[in-house]
């Protein structure tokens, strides 16, 4: 038996619980004032690792409870109500724990042999505290949607990509990565096709209540979402189309005065749902032509679709919208047949094929090129889509920086405010030709955050590129093993 097993055997339950409680009380009631900022951050990180490891123990304890028939013995009949009653959990939380256990737990076979976890790499990372329960939940959701008949090596490479991202990235990005993986391992749509999505489409308007309000529910296709996003990004901005403010900016205003919009936004107390409602209300007003909604950040209000030439040629992968959504390649091409949507096709370096790389471009063309190249805010970690970004000079205009595509990048308003020449300011640079990210925008954090001054790029909007590269690299490895 290993050392961990011996520790568990030699300690009583009371001793184990007391050790955890002592640690918790020490942190909860201890004086943190003597610690430096770096110490506090390190404590947060190390405690997070410990909490993740404790969370991973849920699977072992759930399996132990089931092996002992504790749910049936307590009259619960099933493990989910047993957990809810025993631990005071919500139905969702209990169901997530059980689902994770099925995929990441070790079960004894009828023969007595211990069966390793179905998602062994995920279970290992979870047990080490390298990934959180939210990471695991999203990984399980992606893996359950993979085709049942794909080769074992394809399933392993998909899990490896998801776990690799989870060790350094956010759980929120995993569904997007999953869509990219599914589009490549299932290019023919045998699992989820455009036809399947269309069959699920539908909106239901419920009967009006006593107060006259009606509830809405349903599913919309990725294509409709892309078209609506292009409209809502302008009409649902704070300060736009506010039915509670007679002086807010109307949908019929083609060129919005930034001063007027900022003043209206400061008065705006609506939440995101209310702004979307008011935007749809404005869009459906008589006399409003959706094709004549004016400009948003220098471009006509329209759907912008971006795809790589490699994905286009093999018919796999997805096109990305300026608002961060995804549309299948085939549906993107259908949308691009219209007069308003714009389609950008990128080469292997992520640069627009239809734009001259040394040509000085008009402002709308530059912005389209930046949407295709950057896809969103370029500051590392930021997930703001291109539709929420302004154009930023990497080398400031006042310092002689030209308004050329090579010196421009997309930055959201919040991150734009961080760029300055003070000790706390961030700096932006163009990654040089020797960098694997050549031509992209690198951000240099203040010395307080990164004493090395290393430029870093944001990969959150470039999932498709590195997923494709990871799959190709993994298949080369599998191929060499087979040979």
Mean pLDDT of 227-252: 85
Mean pLDDT of 452-458: 93
Confidence band (pLDDT; 50, 70, 90) for 301? Answer: low
Count the Cβ atoms, other than its own, within 10 Å of residue 278.
21
Choose between 206 and 1: higher pLDDT: 206
Contact 231, 275 (CB under 8 A): no
Rounded Cα–Cα distance for residues 458 and 462 (Å): 8
Q: Would you say residue 16 has pLDDT above 50?
A: yes
Confidence band (pLDDT; 50, 70, 90) for 324? Answer: low
Q: Would you say the pTM of this structure is higher than 0.85?
A: no
Q: Which two tokens stand for residue 195?
A: 């036809």
Sign of the dihedral through C-alpha 459, 465, 468, 472: negative
Task: Provide DSSP, 284-299.
Answer: TSTT--GGG--EETTE
Q: Which two tokens stand for residue 453?
A: 């001054």
Q: What is the pLDDT of residue 104?
A: 95
Return the closest-CA partner of residue 248 out of 213, 275, 287: 275
Confidence band (pLDDT; 50, 70, 90) for 402? Answer: confident
Confidence band (pLDDT; 50, 70, 90) for 165? Answer: very high
Judged by average pLDDT, the poorest of 34-38, 250-254, 343-347 is 343-347
346 Cβ partners below 8 Å, 6+ apart?
Answer: 306, 307, 308, 309, 352, 353, 372, 373
The average confidence (pLDDT) of the chain is 81
Q: What is the pLDDT of residue 417?
A: 87
Give tens-digit pLDDT for 106-138: 988 877 788 899 999 999 999 999 999 999 999
Q: Would you say residue 189 has pLDDT above 90?
A: no
Q: Would you say residue 45 has pLDDT above 80?
A: yes
Q: What is the pLDDT of residue 283?
A: 83
Q: What is the pLDDT of residue 358?
A: 33
Q: What is the pLDDT of residue 299?
A: 53
Choose between 378 and 2: higher pLDDT: 378
Confidence band (pLDDT; 50, 70, 90) for 23? Answer: confident
Q: Would you say residue 268 has pLDDT above 80?
A: yes
> Does residue 481 sit in helix, strand or coil?
helix
Choose between 442 and 364: higher pLDDT: 442
Q: What is the pLDDT of residue 455?
A: 94
Choose between 252 and 88: higher pLDDT: 88
- The continuous run of DSSP H or E covering 64 comes out as helix 37-67
Q: Would you say residue 246 has pLDDT above 70?
A: yes
Contact 377, 339 (CB under 8 A): no
Confidence band (pLDDT; 50, 70, 90) for 360? Answer: very low
Q: Would you say residue 346 has pLDDT above 70?
A: no
Residue whose entry in the numeric block shows the structure tokens 């011996």: 6
Q: What is the pLDDT of residue 1?
A: 36
Confidence band (pLDDT; 50, 70, 90) for 356? Answer: very low
Mean pLDDT of 234-263: 85
Confidence band (pLDDT; 50, 70, 90) for 6? Answer: very low
Q: What is the pLDDT of residue 462?
A: 84
Q: Would you say residue 397 has pLDDT above 80?
A: no
Kindly report the length of the chain: 483
Mean pLDDT of 309-331: 66
Share of the chain above pLDDT 90, in %: 31
Q: Would you say residue 309 has pLDDT above 90?
A: no
Q: What is the pLDDT of residue 425?
A: 92
């Amino acid at each position: 038996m290993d050392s961990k097993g011996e520790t568990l055997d030699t300690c009583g339950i009371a001793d184990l619980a007391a050790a955890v409680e002592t640690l918790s009380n020490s942190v909860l009631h201890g004086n943190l004032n003597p610690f430096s900022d770096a110490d506090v951050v390190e404590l947060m990180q190390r405690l997070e690792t410990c909490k993740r490891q404790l969370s991973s123990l849920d699977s072992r304890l759930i399996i132990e409870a089931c092996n002992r028939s504790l749910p049936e013995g307590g009259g619960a009949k099933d493990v989910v109500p047993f957990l809810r009653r025993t631990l005071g959990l919500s139905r969702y939380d209990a169901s997530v724990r059980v689902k994770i256990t099925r995929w990441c737990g070790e079960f004894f076979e009828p023969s007595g042999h211990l069966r390793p976890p179905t998602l062994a790499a995920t279970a290992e990372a979870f047990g080490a505290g390298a990934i959180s329960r939210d990471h695991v939940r999203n990984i399980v959701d992606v893996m359950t949607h993979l085709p049942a008949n794909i080769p074992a090596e394809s399933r392993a490479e998909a899990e490896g990509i998801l776990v690799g991202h989870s060790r350094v990235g956010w759980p929120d990005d995993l569904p997007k990565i999953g869509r990219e993986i599914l589009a490549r391992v299932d290019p023919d749509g045998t699992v989820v096709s455009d036809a399947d999505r269309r069959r699920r489409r539908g909106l239901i308007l419920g009967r009006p209540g006593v107060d006259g309000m009606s509830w809405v529910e349903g599913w919309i296709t990725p294509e409709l979402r892309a078209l609506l996003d292009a409209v809502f990004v302008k009409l649902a901005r704070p300060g736009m189309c506010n039915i509670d403010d007679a002086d807010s900016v109307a949908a019929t205003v083609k060129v919005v005065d930034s001063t007027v919009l900022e003043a209206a936004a400061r008065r705006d107390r609506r939440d995101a749902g209310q702004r979307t409602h008011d935007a749809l209300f404005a869009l459906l007003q008589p006399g409003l032509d959706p094709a004549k909604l004016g400009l948003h950040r220098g471009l006509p209000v329209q759907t912008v679709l971006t795809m790589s030439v490699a994905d286009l040629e093999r018919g796999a992968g997805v096109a990305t919208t300026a608002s961060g959504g995804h549309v299948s390649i085939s549906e993107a091409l259908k949308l691009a047949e219209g007069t308003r949507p714009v389609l950008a096709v990128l080469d292997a370096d992520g640069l627009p094929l239809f734009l001259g790389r040394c040509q000085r471009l008009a402002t709308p063309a530059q912005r389209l090129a930046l949407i295709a190249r950057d896809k969103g805010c370029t500051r590392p970690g930021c997930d703001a889509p291109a539709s929420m970004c302004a154009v930023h000079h990497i080398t400031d205009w006042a310092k002689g920086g030209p308004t050329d595509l090579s010196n421009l990048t997309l930055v959201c308003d919040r991150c734009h405010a961080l760029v300055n020449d003070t000790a706390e300011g961030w700096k932006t640079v163009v990654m040089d030709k020797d960098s694997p990210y050549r031509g992209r925008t690198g951000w240099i954090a203040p010395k307080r955050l990164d004493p090395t001054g290393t430029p870093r790029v944001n990969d959150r909007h470039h999932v498709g590129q590195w997923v494709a590269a990871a799959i190709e690299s993994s298949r080369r490895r599998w191929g060499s093993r087979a040979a």
